[in-house]
Amino acid sequence: MLGRFRGKRVDPLEGVNLLHVHPVREAEWRDEEDTVVLQRSPPRGKGLSGIGARVDHWLGTPRLRLDATGSFAWRRFDGDTSVGQVVDEVRKKFGTDAEPVEQRLGAFVRLLRRERLVSYAEESNANAADQGRSAMRP
């Protein structure tokens, strides 16, 4: 609760089962041979934390090269395919090499979201509903 008052971002989908969300690619990317390369966008923060985030971005890796499993999953993050469906497809394609699929894909999706490389289609729907409700208020 205090997070709201201290300016910390509250996750609107906190506690939601990740298997039911529909990731949407937000980053620029390209295929290089059999792998996907993601381009990290610069952070948008303000103040001291924003400066720290920009320095971290500048000193860090601007591009991320995904492994075969990550590349396969990334190509399916279209906003229509749920994480649960991607888990099933990864399991079919990679078999036991990808196990434990749920945990690996869950950690991957959370990391991508934290880095603002993906969003969830459900967030867009929730934001649109909130905007519609606020537009109806006098």
Q: Which of 124, 122, 128 is nearest to 19 (CA)?
A: 122
Which helix (H) or strand (E) is 113 found in, with range?
Answer: helix 101-114
Q: Taking a C-beta distance cutoff of 8 angstroms, is the pair 118, 25 a contact? A: yes
Q: Return mean pLDDT, the chain.
A: 80
How far out from the chain centre does Cα 74 lie?
Answer: 10
Quote the pLDDT of residue 17. 86
Q: Taking a C-beta distance cutoff of 8 angstroms, is the pair 16, 122 a contact? A: yes
Q: Taking a C-beta distance cutoff of 8 angstroms, is the pair 36, 75 a contact? A: yes
Confidence of residue 56 (pLDDT cuts 50, 70, 90): low
pLDDT in tens, 16-27: 788 999 999 999
pLDDT in tens, 61-91: 678 899 999 999 999 999 999 999 999 999 9
Whether the predicted pLDDT of 137 surpasses 60: no
Whether the predicted pLDDT of 10 surpasses 70: no
pLDDT in tens, 96-122: 999 999 999 999 999 999 888 999 998
